Amino acid sequence: MCGIALLVSGIRIGLSSLNLDSISSSSKSHLVFSVDDLKAALQRRGPDSLGTMKLLLPLHSNSSNSTNYRVSSFNEESHVLDKGSDMSESFAEFVFLGATLQLRGVSPVCQPLMDSSRNVLVYNGEIFGGIEVGIDKNDTESLMQSLGNCCSCRSQEHRTTCDFNGQAKGSIVDVLSVIKGPWAIIYWQESSKTLWFGRDAFGRRSLLVHWPTMEDPRFLLSSVSPTSSRLQDSSFEVENGSSGIKFWEELSCGIYSMSVDVKKSDGSFHSEIKKHEWTNAMLKELIEWERVSIEPKPAELNFSHSRTSSAELDINSSSSVLAQNVLTALRESMLRRISLYNIYQALKETVPVAVLFSGGLDSMIIAALLDQCLDPNYEIDLLNVSFDGESAPDRISAKTGLKELRRVAPLRRWRLVHIDADLSKLTWETKRVLSLINPANTYMDLNIGIALWLAARGEGWICKESNNETDEDKRVNYTSRARILLVGSGADEQCAGYGRHKTKYRHDSWLGLHKEMKLDMQRIWKRNLGRDDRCIADSGKEARFPFLDEDIIRTLLDIPLWEVADLDQPSGKGDKKILREVAHMLGLHNAAILPKRAIQFGSRIARESNQKNFGSNRAANQASAGSVVINVQSYFS
C-alpha cells in the first residue's frame, strides 16, 4: 500500500467533458498547505519510504509558427535538473509523491517509479488477479512493466484507430480494466504526453481530487487531505474544508486521462480531462449490479420460507449448495488477501494480519476463514474498540465470539485486543480524524472514523491468561503490529443488512429492495470506502475487504435475491440470510443469529457523541444527528 499524490501547475485544464456540477468559478475554496504537509500525511500511510519526482515540460519556440516541448525531470531530494533544461522558460510542472508501506515482494520498492522510457508511476493497490505478479515480485513493479508495454493511443477507439492494433499492444484502459483488487493510480505516459489516473470500480482505495478553480488553478490528486502546518484551533474549520467550502472531493471511480498539448494561438499548455469506459465486460456487469433473479414465484418463496424456519440446514438442499458456493468464494477471497507469498518477506516474523472485530456475524466469518487460510504458527489479533469499557455491546459480543472461535479453532492462538477510549479525552485524535474523513463532514462520519482510526492503531490491552478475561490484574498493555487489517465492509450492502433495506422491502417489495441494495453498492465508494481507507491507513495499516472481492460480488449476484435475504423474518434471522447459513457451516452457531449493529453504536461512540454535541440520545435522534454536518468550533469549545 502507498500514499500517493500529484500536484500539477502551469496547464490550463478543461473539464467540460466530465460534467462536474460541483465546479464553480465563484467558489472560494482554497486550502493552504505545503508540499511538506502533504508528505507528512502520506508518510503516515507509507512509513517505509518516501519519494518525490518532478517532471518539467518547458516550452521551446523554434520559430514564430511552431512550438514544441520535451520532458525534463529531477528528483527533489537531489535538486539536480537534467541537462538542457532552461528554468528561465515557461514550463508546466508535475510533482509526483509516493510513500510506501511494503506488503509484497522480497525486496523494498520505493515510489515514484520511472522506467527506461521515462514513464512515471505511483500506485496504491494490490493485484490479486488479471495481471501476473511473480511470487517474489512487487505489484507496482509488475504493473509498471504491463503499462510500459501499452500503446500510446489516447483515443477511446483504440481497437479501430490505434497504430499498434494487431501487434499485441493493449491500451492503458485495457490493462487497468483487468486488475482484480483495490487500487488507485497516477501514471505519466511519456510517449503520448498523457497523464492517467483513477480508482478501481468499487473505490476500495482513496483518491481525492481538487479540480482547478479561478482561485486555485492547480490540479491536485492525493490519497489523503493534508493537515496544514499553519493549522490553529481557531482556523481548523476553514483549513480542513468543514465550513461548507469543499476543496477536496472523492474522485469518482473510473479511469481518466489528461493529454498535454501546446496551443499555438497563445503558446501555452492546454489539456482536457476525459473519463474512459471500462473495457472488461465482466467488470462492467458487476458495476451495473444486475441480479439473475429478483422476484420469486410463490412456490419458490414458500420453499425458502420453510427452509429459513428450519433449525438445521439440509446439506443436500439447494440453499445449502448456494451457501457452500458463497463459502468457497469467501475462502478463495481470503487466500488471495493473506497468502504469505503476497506479504513482504520482512514481515513474516510478526503477526501479519488482524481483524476489525466486533464479534458480530461478518467479523466472525472473517476470523474463522482467516484461521483456515493462515499458517497455524501465527497468532491472530482481534481488534475491538469500546467507549464504555467492558459494557459496550461490541465488547460483550467480542468476548462471546472469542469463546466460539476457540471452540471451532482450539489450536489457534487468538488475541483479543481491548482498545478502550474516552471521547472527552480525544481532542488531538478527533482533529486528526476530522482531517482524514475530509471531504466527509457529518457526525456519523466522524464517529465511525474515530472508531476505525483507534482500531487500526491497535493500542490496547490483552489478558495475560486467556482463561480469565475479566481479571484486571492480568491486563497487559499491547499494541498490534499487524500491517493488514481485515474489514467486513460490503457484507451489509450486498446481503440486505441495513434497517433501511427492510423498510424498502416493506414499501416496495423485492424490486424496491434490489434497487436500494444496488444504490448502496454503487455509492459505497463515496459514503464509506474512501473515508475508511484514509482512517485505517493513517496508522500504516492496509484495509482489505474480503466481501468486496470481485468473485464474491459475482457469486452473490448469481443467487436469487430471496435466497440472499428473507426480510419477512425477524432481525438476526432473515437479514443476510445467506451469510448466516455460511456461519452455520463454519460452526459459528451463536454468531449466526446475532442482529446487525453498526460500529458507532456497538462501540458506544455514538452515545458519547450525542451527549456531548446534542445533550442526549433523544435530542440527537430528533435532530437526525447522523446526517448533521459537524460544527467544528462548537465541538471543541
**Statement: residue 126 has pLDDT above 60:** yes
Q: What is the per-residue pLDDT for 80? A: 31
pLDDT tens-digit readout, 550-568: 999 999 999 999 999 999 9
Instruction: Give 153's pLDDT tier (boundaries 50, 70, 90).
Output: confident
Q: Which three cell numbers stand for residue 629?
A: 454536518
- Cβ proximity of 151 and 158 under 8 Å: yes
Q: Which of 315, 290, 320, 325 is nearest to 304 (CA)?
A: 320
Place of cell 491497535: 458
- Confidence bin at 166 (pLDDT 50/70/90): very low
Q: Please give the distance of CA 178 from its chain centroid, rounded to a whole number.
A: 18
Check pLDDT > 50 for residue 436.
yes
**Taking a C-beta distance cutoff of 8 angstroms, is the pair 261, 270 a contact?**
yes
What's the pTM value of the predicted model, to 2 decimals?
Answer: 0.90
Number of Cα atoms under 13 Å in the Cβ half of residue 223: 37
pLDDT in tens, 301-323: 766 666 555 545 554 565 689 99
β-pairing verdict for 268-276 and 459-463: unpaired
Q: What is the mean pLDDT of residues 218-234?
A: 72
Which pLDDT does position 34 carry in this prediction? 81
For 510-514, which contacts have Cβ atoms below 8 Å and span 24 or more sequence positions?
A: 510/294, 510/295, 510/296, 510/561, 510/562, 511/294, 511/295, 513/561, 513/565, 513/567, 514/291, 514/294, 514/561
Give how far Cα 634 sits from Cα of 90, 222, 612, 618, Å: 47, 29, 10, 20
Contact (Cβ atoms closer than 8 angstroms) between residue 437 and residue 445:
yes
Q: What is the pLDDT of residues 284-293, one digit of tens each?
A: 999 999 999 9
**For the ranges 139-143, 196-200, 312-316, which has the lowest average pLDDT?**
312-316
Note the pLDDT of residue 636: 76
pLDDT at 82 over 90: no
Per the structure block, which three cell numbers stand in for 400?
Answer: 462471546
**199-203, 206-210, 319-323, 539-543: segment of lowest average pLDDT:** 319-323
Q: Residue 160: what pLDDT?
A: 47
CA distance 294 to 350: 46
- Which residues, other chains included, contact 167 with Cβ-Cβ below 8 Å and sequence gap of 6+? none
Q: State the pLDDT at residue 35.
A: 86
Low-confidence winner among 60-74, 150-164, 487-501, 584-598 (lowest mean pLDDT):
60-74
Average pLDDT over residues 489-497: 97
Q: What is the pLDDT of residues 88-123, one digit of tens each?
A: 457 889 999 999 998 877 778 899 999 999 999 999
Closest residue by Cα to residue 111 from 3, 197, 203: 3
Reading the block at residue 588, the C-alpha cell is: 459459528
